Amino acid sequence: MSTPPFASGPEGPHALRPLLDTVLEALDTGARARGGPLPAGGPEAVAARTRAAVGDVLPDQGDPHALRTLVHAFAETAADPAHPLCAAHLHCPPLAVATAADLAASALNPSLDSWDQAPGASELERLLTATLAREIHGSGGPGKPDSLITTGGTEANQLALLLAREAHGGSVRLVYGTNAHHSLPRAAWLLGLPEPVAVPAPRGTLDPDALDQALTGLTGPLLVAATAGTTDAGYIDPLHDIAARCTTHGARLHVDAAYGGSLLFSDRHRNMLTGLDTADTVTLDLHKLGWQPVAAGLLAVRDAHDLAALRQHADYLNADDDTEAGLPDLLGRSLRTTRRPDVLKLAVTLKTLGRSGLGTLVDQVCAHARHFADLVDAHPGFELHAPPVISTVLFRPTDATDTTVAAVRRALLTDGRAVLGRARLDGRLWLKATLLNPATGPDDLAALLHLAAASRATLVEGHTSR
């Protein structure tokens, strides 16, 4: 067998073109074979279909049709976030332009751990991270703001705790709301920090008085983590009030805006994030309300001096004499070494859509959530948890047990007709619609509620006939 073609080099684009045709066709045939947002049949049936399509994963002799076969099967058994009835998670449909840019990133394969692997990409990353840092922190505090690209909210939250620990000379105690993302206490565990303190979030948001009380009883360096856009409900903690309590108690503030951070792009909704710029660190996830292919996370720091803690030397990547001679030192911009240029799809998206284009997408999904909440509210068979804040709507069949709520969701998943999430709030289980698709229409939203109602009715019938 001759050497298989590579994606870069003078022949790269030529070699890629027919393969891309194959991929695009298989995406199309696979999606048609699926026919809905999720493959029907449940985990066992779907796994069996995947096994049958793949056959031998490592055959002795290669198979020239592997690309077509596997991409078709991959698409046929996928959850399609662009399907209007796929609304369970903060799992967004990626913009075509971002995905196309990601192809270029894969083809050239720059790695952002040294300048000689990513000469232009490193400058693009510098420009983009500085721009997003200013977007979040304005002119910053005493130092200049900056930001780092991460694999997502989990890595950004981890970095935030690490930077807080280092800013405090080696230890810090995390104080977080019970509404916070699980990655925060987990990062405290990973970093060997003192036992974190959880503060009540009675109505889904961190209670500032309860926070004040918790901070009063604690000694030693403290890091408060607030959330702008909770994963379960899209609620935003009272950032201004929380920032004031942090100042009073000399605590550092991290805001996990993995979900809600993109409200900054919207003229209509930006004011919901008032106070965000006072946080020492902010997490943002553009593979949620930013319509990026995974991964696209960011950690913004108010004062770039905090990043000195990440400085690292490896002679083969950033020798002092290379740095003195003007080669940018990139190693301190991540805990990773080899690093994908996720910056390209981000830069292409921001420039293609502009702030107003992104803001419009944000406004559209927020409007969809309000409309869906109105439909729920008007339906006698459903109860609405509360008016939506961002693009998440929690609802449940009236007079249903938690067991029924869970069964309604699983029945829809097994049918492959609609994908709804679940959230436990106020002691009850809710169905969760996370609306991240700007192209969803009013008919789609009506269909989503109709399917949930039909699923509930079927369960009730099944129960009474037994």
Residue number with CB closer to ligand PLP (208 or 421): 421
Residue number with CB closer to ligand PLP (185 or 229): 229
- The one segment of 57-65, 73-81, 146-154, 363-371 that binds ligand PLP by CB under 6 A: 146-154
Site string for ligand PLP, 266-305 (x = CB under 6 A): -------------------x-----------x--------
Q: Applying CB under 6 A, which of residues 122, 129, 179, 231 lies at the interface with ligand PLP?
A: 231
167 to 186, contacts with ligand PLP by CB under 6 A?
Answer: 181, 183
Q: Applying CB under 6 A, which of residues 102, 113, 125, 256 lies at the interface with ligand PLP?
A: 256
How far is Cα 430 from Cα 394, in angstroms, rounded to an integer? 6
CB of 10 to ligand PLP, least distance (A): 37
The residue whose two tokens read 């996990």 is: 256
Site string for ligand PLP, 81-100 (x = CB under 6 A): ---------x----------
Contact 302, 137 (CB under 8 A): yes
CB of 341 to ligand PLP, least distance (A): 18
Whether omega before 295 lies within 30 degrees of 0, making that bond cis, reads: yes
Q: Applying CB under 6 A, which of residues 115, 235, 259, 372 lies at the interface with ligand PLP?
A: 259
Structure-token pair, residue 402: 């938690």
Q: Applying CB under 6 A, which of residues 77, 227, 262, 437 lies at the interface with ligand PLP?
A: 227
Q: Does 258 bind ligand PLP (CB under 6 A)?
A: yes
CB of 160 to ligand PLP, least distance (A): 11
CB of 258 to ligand PLP, least distance (A): 4
Residue number with CB closer to ligand PLP (118 or 258): 258
Q: Does 129 bind ligand PLP (CB under 6 A)?
A: no
- The one segment of 10-18, 191-199, 225-233, 368-376 that binds ligand PLP by CB under 6 A: 225-233
Q: How far apart are the first and last CA of the chain?
A: 62
Residue number with CB closer to ligand PLP (342 or 444): 342
Per residue, the 3-state secondary structure of the chain, as one string, reads CCCCCCCCCCCHHHHHHHHHHHHHHHHHHHHHHHCCCCCCCHHHHHHHHHHHHHCCCCCCCCCCCHHHHHHHHHHHCCCCCCCCCEECCCCCCCCHHHHHHHHHHHHHCCCCCCHHHCHHHHHHHHHHHHHHHHHHHCCCCCCCCEEEEECCHHHHHHHHHHHHHHHCCCCCEEEEECCCCCHHHHHHHHCCCCCCEEECCCCCCCCHHHHHHHHHCCCCCEEEEEEECCCCCCCECCHHHHHHHHHHHCCEEEEEECCHHHHHHCCCCHHHHCCHHHCCEEEEECCCCCCCCCCCEEEEECCHHHHHHHCCCCHHHHCHHHHHCCCCCCHHHCCCCCCCCCHHHHHHHHHHHHHHHHHHHHHHHHHHHHHHHHHHHHCCCEEECCCCCCCEEEEEECCCCHHHHHHHHHHHHHHCCCEEEEEEECCEEEEEEECCCCCCCHHHHHHHHHHHHHHHHHHHHHHHHC
Residue number with CB closer to ligand PLP (285 or 303): 285
CB of 58 to ligand PLP, least distance (A): 30
Q: Does 153 bind ligand PLP (CB under 6 A)?
A: yes
Which residues face 222 on adjacent strands? Answer: 173
- The one segment of 208-216, 224-232, 271-279, 450-458 that binds ligand PLP by CB under 6 A: 224-232
Q: Applying CB under 6 A, which of residues 39, 81, 145, 152 lies at the interface with ligand PLP?
A: 152
Q: Applying CB under 6 A, which of residues 154, 205, 262, 440 lies at the interface with ligand PLP?
A: 154
- The one segment of 103-111, 151-159, 351-359, 404-412 that binds ligand PLP by CB under 6 A: 151-159
Number of residues that bind ligand PLP (CB under 6 A): 15
Q: Does 147 bind ligand PLP (CB under 6 A)?
A: no
How far is Cα 69 from Cα 49, in angstroms, rounded to an integer? 12
Residue number with CB closer to ligand PLP (208 or 229): 229
Q: Does 234 bind ligand PLP (CB under 6 A)?
A: no
Which residues make Cβ contacts (< 8 Å) with residue 110, sequence separation at least 6? 117, 118, 121, 341
Structure-token pair, residue 17: 């073109």
- The one segment of 102-110, 254-262, 351-359, 377-385 that binds ligand PLP by CB under 6 A: 254-262
- The one segment of 139-147, 153-161, 195-203, 362-370 that binds ligand PLP by CB under 6 A: 153-161
* Site for ligand PLP, rule CB under 6 A: 90, 152-154, 157, 181, 183, 227, 229, 231, 256, 258-259, 285, 297
